[in-house]
Structure 1
Amino acid sequence: MTGFSPARRTLHSFILGLAAAGAMLLGGAARAAAWPDRPIQLVVPFPAGSSPDTLARAIAEPLAKDLGQPVVVENKPGAGGNIGTRYASRAKPDGYTLLLTINGPIVTAPALYKKTLGYDPMTDLDPISLVGTSPNVLVVPQSSPAANLQDFVRMAKEQPGALNYGSVGPGSSSHLGMAMLEHQAGIKLQQIPYTGFPQIITSIIAGDIQAGFMVPGVAMPQVKAGKVRALAITSLESSDVLPGLPTMASQGYPGFESISWDAIFVPAGTPADVAARLNKSITGILALPDVKQKMAALYFTPAPSSPAELSAMIKAEKARWDEVINRLNLSLD
C-alpha cells in the first residue's frame, strides 16, 4: 500500500477485515445449511433388543426422513452402558454422532466409578432432549402375604434381614431403589444379584426371593398372567401406561421417585444450530402416533424436553442418588 496515506491504509484494512469476517460468516452459514450431508451415527450403549435399542430404532427412521440422511443405530454395549457412552463422548462434535442412553451412565455412574469411568457426562456431553420415562414396579410373588406396600414393610420389620430381593447388580436402579426404601422405611433386606431382569422375575415367580424393583416390560406380562403381584410404581404421579397401580409416594413415602428414562445427547461442543435442529426434530417425532404406540408397548411415556430442562433434571437426580450412593459407601472402581 505504498503511497497510501495513513487514513487510507486504515480504511483499507478495515474494509479487508469486514470482508474476511463476512466470508467466515457465510462459510459458517453454508456449513450449517449443509448439515447433514452424510449418514448420522446413533450410538446405543446397550445390546440389540434392549429397550434403549428399541426406542432408538423407533426414532431413527423418522429422524432420517426429517433430516434427509440415514440414521444408523450402532450398538456399543458393556459396563452398564458406560463403554458406549464413553465412545460417544469422545466423538467429533460435528453433529454426526448422537447418543441415546439411559440415566445410569449419566446420573449414577460418575459416583460409582470415580476413578475408571473415563468421561464426565456433565462436561463431555451436551443434552439434546429427554425421550421418554418409565417407572419401575415393585413386585412380590403371587403367594406373598403382602397385598400392598404397607404389608411388605411390616413383614420386613417383623423379620429384620430375613427377606431378600433381586437386583441386576450393585449400583443398578433395582439396587439403589430398594436401598432408598430401606432407608425411608427403616427396614433391612438382603440383596441377591442376578445377571438380568428375566432371571429375577423367574425367581420371584418361584418364591426364591421375596421382592424386586423391576422394569415394567419384564414385570407386567407376569403381573397380567397372575404369576406375580405388583405393589407400587416408582414415579411421583400415577402412570398412564401402568393404570391402576399406586405410587410409592401415595403409600406413605412422599418424594420417593426412581424412574427409568432415555435421552439423546451429542458430544460437547456440537454446533448450537445443529443441536437446536435435532431438538426440534426429536420433539416432533415423539408426537407421532406410531412412535407413541411403540413407546407405550415398552411402558414408556414420551417426554420431549429442552436441553436446559434435561440438564436440570440430571442435576436433581444426581444430587438424590449421590446421597444414596455415599450413604452406602458404594464404589465399583
Structure 2
Amino acid sequence: MSPFSSAHRVLSGAALGIAASATLAFAAPAAAGPWPDHAIQMVVPFPAGSSPDTLARMIADPLSKKLAQPVIVENKPGAGGNIGTRYASKAKPDGYTILMTINGPMVTAPALYKNLGYTPDTDLAPITLVGTSPNVLVVPNDSPAKSVQEFVALAKAKPGALNYGTVGPGSSSHLGMAMLEHQAGISLQQIPYTGFPQIITSIISGDIQAGFMVPGIAMPQVNAHKARALAITSLEPSKLLPGLPTMTSQGYPGFESISWDAMYAPAGTPADILELLNQAITQILGQPDIERKMAALYFTPAPSTPEQLRELVHKETGRWGAVIQRLHLSLD
C-alpha cells in the first residue's frame, strides 16, 4: 500500500465524522455579518472541459444552493495552472474567492520555479481535498504500441522522435512521463497544452504520440476506439478502470502518479468561513448523485479537514521534490 493510499484512508475516515455532524454545524459565520451576501467566484486555473473545471461545476451548483448565493466558476488557464492559482492567492481574503486546483500548482511548481509569484503554504488556505484519480498512459489508437513495454521499445527505436502532451511543466502529466523516461532510459519531447481536452484531440489526430492523462477525459475516447490506454499509474488496480494494468505490473515497480483536486481560499480568509465551506463541500461530496457523477469521471470523492490537506501537500512535496531533484528539472 502506497503512502498516498494510506493518507487517502485517513482522509476518508475523518471525512465521515465531519459529514455526520455537518448538518448540525452548518451556520452563518460568527466573526463577520451575514456571509455570503453576494456571488462567490470559484477560480479554476484550467480551461472549460478540463477535469478540474468539470468537478468545479459539479460542486458549484449544490454549493450555491447551500449558501443561497451564486457560485460562479471562472476559468483562468495557463502555465500548468500557475496563473489562475496565483490570481486566487492574491484575491481579497473575504470568502468571495475560492480556488479549485490540482496538485501541480501546489506541490511541484514551487520546486520547479524560483519566481512562482505565490507560496502555496502561506498564500493559500486549505479548505478540503475534493477527489483523487489515477492517471492513464494513452497513445493513438493506431499506435503500434499495445503495452508499456512496446511503447518503450518504440521510443528506444526512435530516440528523441516521439513527443507527448502535458498540461504544463511540473504537472503530473509531465513528471509521470519524466519518471518513465528516467526509469526506461528513453527520451521524448514534451508538448505543453492548456488542458487535457486539447491533449486527447492531438493524440487522436496523431500530432503527439502519448500522454499521461486523467481518465475522465481520456476514457470516453478510449472506449470509442479513438485512442488506446496502456496502463494506469496507481500501485494497485482501480475498480473504476477494470482491466487496465498498472505501470508496476508492466515492469516499473513503485511507479505511482495520482491526480487530485482540492479547494483553497486566499490566506487570511476568516476561519469560520473556511469551516463553513469545508462542511458544505463535505456534505456535497457525500451525496450519492455527486459520487456517481465523480465515478463517471473516474474520480473518488476524498473530503478532508484543512489540516489533513496541508499534511498531504507537505508529504507530496517531499516525494515529488526528490523526483524533481533526481531528474535535475528546473523551469526558470
TM-score, normalised to structure 1's length? 0.80
Q: Give yes or no for the alignment of 1:314 onto 2:319.
A: no
Show the 5 A alignment for 1:38-53.
38-53=38-53
| 8 Å Cα contact 2:63/2:280 also seen in 1 | yes
| 8 Å Cα contact 2:98/2:263 also seen in 1 | yes
Aligned to 1:55: 55
Q: Give yes or no for the alignment of 1:235 onto 2:234.
A: yes
Aligned to 1:244: 243
Post-superposition shift, 1:145?
Answer: 4.6
Distance 1:128-1:324 versus aligned 2 partners, 3 A rule: same
Post-superposition shift, 1:210?
Answer: 4.3
Distance 1:197-1:126 versus aligned 2 partners, 3 A rule: closer
| 8 Å Cα contact 1:98/1:265 also seen in 2 | yes
| 8 Å Cα contact 1:138/1:212 also seen in 2 | yes
| 8 Å Cα contact 1:43/1:100 also seen in 2 | yes
| 8 Å Cα contact 1:32/1:274 also seen in 2 | no
Show the 5 A alignment for 1:1-333.
30-32=30-32, 34-115=34-115, 117-156=116-155, 159=157, 161=159, 164-168=162-166, 169-185=168-184, 187-195=185-193, 197-198=196-197, 200-201=199-200, 204-205=203-204, 209-333=208-332
Post-superposition shift, 1:30?
Answer: 4.4
The structure having more radius of gyration, on CA atoms, is 1
| 8 Å Cα contact 1:139/1:214 also seen in 2 | yes
Distance 1:46-1:144 versus aligned 2 partners, 3 A rule: closer
| 8 Å Cα contact 1:163/1:210 also seen in 2 | no
Q: Deviations over 1:249-301 (max 9, x none)?
A: 33333332212211101111222222222111111101112222332332222
How many residue pairs end up in the alignment?
303
Aligned to 1:6: none
Post-superposition shift, 1:99?
Answer: 0.9
Once residues 47 and 198 of structure 2 are traced to their aligned partners in structure 1, the CA distance between those partners, rounded to angstroms, is: 17
Post-superposition shift, 1:33?
Answer: 6.9
Once residues 191 and 46 of structure 1 are traced to their aligned partners in structure 2, the CA distance between those partners, rounded to angstroms, is: 22
Q: Percent of aligned positions with the same letter in both sequences? A: 71
Once residues 81 and 29 of structure 1 are traced to their aligned partners in structure 2, the CA distance between those partners, rounded to angstroms, is: 30
Once residues 118 and 63 of structure 2 are traced to their aligned partners in structure 1, the CA distance between those partners, rounded to angstroms, is: 27
Post-superposition shift, 1:31?
Answer: 3.2
- State the Cα RMSD in Å: 2.7
Distance 1:31-1:198 versus aligned 2 partners, 3 A rule: closer
Gaps of at least 5 residues in structure 1 are 1-27
Q: Which amino acid aligns with 1:241?
A: L
Distance 1:248-1:38 versus aligned 2 partners, 3 A rule: same
**Matched residue SS, 1:315:** helix
**Matched residue SS, 1:308:** helix
**Matched residue SS, 1:133:** strand
Once residues 43 and 236 of structure 1 are traced to their aligned partners in structure 2, the CA distance between those partners, rounded to angstroms, is: 31
| 8 Å Cα contact 1:175/1:191 also seen in 2 | no
Q: Which amino acid aligns with 2:191?
A: P
| 8 Å Cα contact 2:31/2:272 also seen in 1 | no
Greater mean deviation of Cα atoms: 235-244 or 162-171? 162-171
Once residues 128 and 290 of structure 1 are traced to their aligned partners in structure 2, the CA distance between those partners, rounded to angstroms, is: 22
Once residues 96 and 202 of structure 1 are traced to their aligned partners in structure 2, the CA distance between those partners, rounded to angstroms, is: 35
Post-superposition shift, 1:134?
Answer: 1.9
| 8 Å Cα contact 1:166/1:192 also seen in 2 | yes
Distance 1:216-1:114 versus aligned 2 partners, 3 A rule: same
Q: Which amino acid aligns with 2:187?
A: L
Q: Deviations over 1:68-88 (max 9, x none)?
A: 322222222333222221121
Gaps of at least 5 residues in structure 2 are 1-27
Q: Which amino acid aligns with 1:165?
A: N
TM-score, normalised to structure 2's length? 0.80
Q: Which amino acid aligns with 2:124?
A: L
Distance 1:318-1:226 versus aligned 2 partners, 3 A rule: same
**Matched residue SS, 1:37:** coil
**Matched residue SS, 1:56:** helix
Post-superposition shift, 1:180?
Answer: 0.6
**Matched residue SS, 2:272:** helix
